[in-house]
Chains A and B, each alone.
Chain A
């Protein structure tokens, strides 16, 4: 039985250490507790605190990301305000985070609902301060979330056939993660690729997708990721990184490709690098004449 806590009479309007988020990507297909407990939690928050759950939850209608504000902290083992958007509108409560798990594409936050009880910390805010000093930051949890999403996509990709000429489901998921989470998603991808042995077929699809995404926000970061793998020890990883750079079609990669060409010993890969280099040089000329 996890400990439960009592809210203080006066709760900070923006309580340090409380993270506000949705329990699912799909706006609430999962709920950790029965609805009556949610309602009870909201009622209790409204009656006992200055904290306005409706105001806090409002951003969720526009953004489904489970972790909303980077500077707040999520508190495994601590307090956690969460929301589920059900047909009649957002419902919210505060609970105790027990752990974070991924169910298919959903980040499920297991939390004990807020209930009145004994064995409680004397002060909610003091309790939060203590917990925030010792628990992972939101950023770390976001990374864990992205790792889960990426791992799930990779697991599915292992059984997906990447047909010539068809956009894969994996590519769509990767593009979605990059568009929603930006450079943070790229950092997660890179760490996972480095730590795990990924099938080359999947890696090739990943790099092609990273090159193909049309969006200026992450353009430089995607180029940087591909360039780093251009120096990978595995010849075929270098190969698909170059393919990703061709998809990106950014002349800024020309110097690095030239260096790679100079260093490359495999004639077959050199031929591939020359092909990519030729394309980027042609793009460069076209851009200058525009």
Chain B
């Protein structure tokens, strides 16, 4: 069974019942919903094999962040596809991602027809997945490394960030 990856999150918004005893089992503070920002009932995620390395997951997160002018620290979750299927969420694999990394774009999936209730349940599933993070500095370093390794297209990195990273 594969995993989904979602990036562009703020880690302080994803505390669970392990840290707040007023939350029920499987719960997560509602602040996490501020990070999800579905559009038209659609949420973007990326799908990787269950055995995929953490390095691939971090490559995905860096590719997503590279288009931003001012990337900050970012959190991401890796969570099982089964949790999404259990919520009977429609998964559309036909819309490629729009990052500067073609391999990453091929992994893009749209989670569609999300109601507010399903989004909240989905957030709970994410929050109990595997959390990863970048600091702003390590994220920038990773984006630079991806460009230098020619995995990430330079033109898809924001102009401001290119200048900051000395990428021309």
Contacts and interface: CB of A to CB of B under 8 A. Distances in A.
A272 B133 contact: yes
Interface of A: 164-167, 200-201, 204, 208, 212, 235-236, 239-240, 243, 246-247, 249, 266-269, 271-272, 275-276, 279
Interface residues of B, number: 27
Chain A interface SS verdict (over half):
helix
Contacts of B158: 165
A200 B72 contact: no
A91 B103 CA distance: 65
Contact of B11 (A164, A167, A239, A249): A239
Lowest 3 A-B CB distances belong to which pairs? A165-B68, A246-B135, A239-B12
A166 B69 contact: yes
Contacts of B133: 271-272, 275
B18 interface: yes
A266 B18 contact: yes
B68 A166 contact: yes
B94 interface: no
A268 B131 contact: yes
A266 B19 contact: yes
Nearest to A211: B136
B135 A236 contact: no
Given A165-B69, A246-B137, A275-B135, A267 B18 contact: yes
29 contacts: A164-B68, A164-B74, A165-B69, A165-B71, A167-B69, A167-B70, A201-B31, A201-B34, A204-B10, A204-B12, A208-B72, A236-B15, A239-B11, A243-B11, A243-B12, A247-B135, A247-B137, A267-B18, A268-B14, A268-B15, A268-B16, A268-B18, A268-B19, A268-B131, A271-B133, A272-B11, A272-B133, A275-B135, A279-B135
Contacts of B16: 268
A249 B67 CA distance: 23
Contacts of A269: 19
Given A204-B10, A268-B131, 9 more contacts: A165-B67, A165-B71, A166-B69, A208-B72, A236-B12, A236-B15, A267-B18, A268-B19, A279-B135
Interface in B153-168: 158
Nearest to A275: B133
Given A240-B12, A266-B18, A268-B19, A246 B73 contact: yes
Nearest to B134: A275
A111 to B, nearest CB: 42
Contacts of A266: 15, 18-19
B37 to A, nearest CB: 9
Nearest to B68: A165
B6 interface: no
B2 interface: no
A276 B12 contact: no
Contacts of B68: 164-166
Contact of B73 (A200, A201, A243): A243
A275 B137 CA distance: 11
Contacts of B14: 268
Nearest to B72: A208
